[in-house]
Structure 1
Amino acid sequence: MTMVQLPAGATQERTQKVLNEVTHYYLTKEKNNVESVFAVNGFGFAGRGQNTGIAFVSLKDWADRPGEENKVEAITMRATRAFSQIKDAMVFAFNLPAIVELGTATGLTLS
């Protein structure tokens, strides 16, 4: 998943341009790992507005992505590095937890 946040007052067109860059990156630079990208303009976890967006990235099956360099952590790291070059927006690539209800900050203690 990737979140996009532009400065307050940025137009929807500027946000769409950044979302297009994000989509293009995943579908070209990570084409061996990415199945599809669904980008939404005007919505994000930080709220709604014409200066925010989110991209849902669907990866190919694990069997089709062998090797450490094709794991989600490596893909996210490369994407974050690439997106840091986008001057118009803050773009964050991140991975959802395996069990969403558990979050990423704490774990599960088994006794």
Structure 2
Amino acid sequence: MSTSSALFVLFVAAAGTYAARGGLILLLADRSLPASVERSLQYVGPAVLAALTVNLAVGDDGVGSVEFAEAAALLVAAGVAVWRRNLIWTFVAAMSTLWILGALT
């Protein structure tokens, strides 16, 4: 592949990504969303966090190959989620645990 072809593909991919992400924001900038959509969007953050957590717990190869720091971070996340019922606090506590224990081991 020549350099000009690679740059063209890169430009098209970047423009497509920008259009896909920015288009919705630009089209809905001065409009309000329906109440049912706003209620549904409240569950996007917890759903993404749950998907990442399951991916971490299962591991890359599909079997439960969880390190000590990862298991501790999962337990801390579960405890903070039950205690605080706040996604941000859960994320901060779990990531802090993962980083601290990861640096120590």
How high is the TM-score relative to the length of structure 2? 0.30
| Larger-Rg structure | 2
More strand by share: 1
Higher relative contact order (CA 8 A, sep 6+): 1
More helix by share: 2
How high is the TM-score relative to the length of structure 1? 0.29
